Structure 1
Amino acid sequence: MEKKVKNAAKKLKKQNESFWADFKKFITKGNVLDMAVAVVVASAFNAIVNGLVKYIITPLITYATSGVSINEWEWVVREEVLDAAGAVVTSKISVQYGLWLQAIVDFLIIAFSVFVVVRVIRNTERALNAKELAKKAEEEAAKKAEEEKKAAEAAAAAKAAAEAQKAREDAFLADVKAQAELLREIRDSLKKN
């Protein structure tokens, strides 16, 4: 029993160390910094979208609906009942669908804005990747052309060396033949004498 407890304690300690090691890796990779930057940018982006809705779109909708703000649109189920002194006897019950519609408009604008930003980022990444791929392909083509040029130069040099070697061999053979002919002439001349 004691051995099982010790083994369980060792296993728990190892898991705990592994957890903290993984957490340390996560922190040092820069992911936390990336997330912090994303939160700050998202907050600023939220302010921009809220400003767009509040200061541009909502006033246009209000103008289009004869001065009634979309937030004020409601369906009154029961009117408010006041007593003679003006105190509320029965509260108004209403379905405030204007606020719901405003939330939908806000969502659609935010979703569209995020879509546009993500699309711009992706297109920029694709363009950068395309440029990098084109540059890499160009470098590889230049490297291949250089290798082919060197191979052609090496082949030409080998061919020239082979031709020079053949010319030397031909010259040597011609010289040997000339010497053999000369020796024959000398021999024939000596035989005549």
Structure 2
Amino acid sequence: MFKEFKEFILRGNVIDLAVGVIIGAAFGDVVKSLVNDVIMPPIGLLIKGINFKDLKLVIGGETNNPVTFNYGNFLQNVLTFLIIAAAVFLMVKLVNMLYKKKAAEESAAGKPSAEEVLLTQIRDLLKERN
């Protein structure tokens, strides 16, 4: 069982996945900071200094255990998610564009030129005569 586990861990896919998760977590922290520290303060200023994290709906009055719906925090998390999703979309789009460009260059390099096609046809005709 230990041998199988070792093979599983050392497989390339698992290591790539681990690297992706670590980079994704760090990327998520950067985007959260972007949203919380750069984007949300001006938006809060536009709506008269309201901090989104402080927006909540209290149900049950001022009793000992009121129920609160923290919809401001939810809105901020939704905005963070949308920004992360947009950033990941742009990264994937960029990588796909680079792969398409590389594939186009490889296919163009693999096709014979018009001169090579003509020479091949001449060679084939000469072979037929002999």
Regarding TM over 0.5, the answer is yes
Equivalence for 1:46? 28
Equivalence for 1:130? 104
- Structure 1 unpaired stretches of 5+: 1-15, 82-89, 160-193
Tell me, what secondary structure is at the counterpart of 2:59? strand
8 A Cα contact 1:77 1:94, kept in partner:
yes
Equivalenced residues, count: 128
Please state how far the C-alpha of 1:20 moved relative to its aligned partner.
3.5
1:112 is aligned, of 86, 109, 114, to 86
Q: Which has the higher Rg, Structure 1 or Structure 2? A: 1
Are residues 142 and 79 of structure 1, via their aligned partners in 2, closer, same or farther at CA, if it must alter by over 3 Å? farther
Equivalence for 1:20? 4
Matched, 1:147 2:120: yes
Please state how far the C-alpha of 1:27 moved relative to its aligned partner.
5.0
Tell me, what secondary structure is at the counterpart of 2:58? strand
Please state how far the C-alpha of 1:40 moved relative to its aligned partner.
2.6
Identity of aligned residues (%): 28
TM-score computed with the length of structure 2 as normaliser: 0.76
TM-score computed with the length of structure 1 as normaliser: 0.55
- Structure 2 unpaired stretches of 5+: none
> Post-superposition, which runs of at least 4 consecutive aligned residues in structure 1 deviate over 2 A?
26-29, 76-81, 90-94, 141-146, 148-152
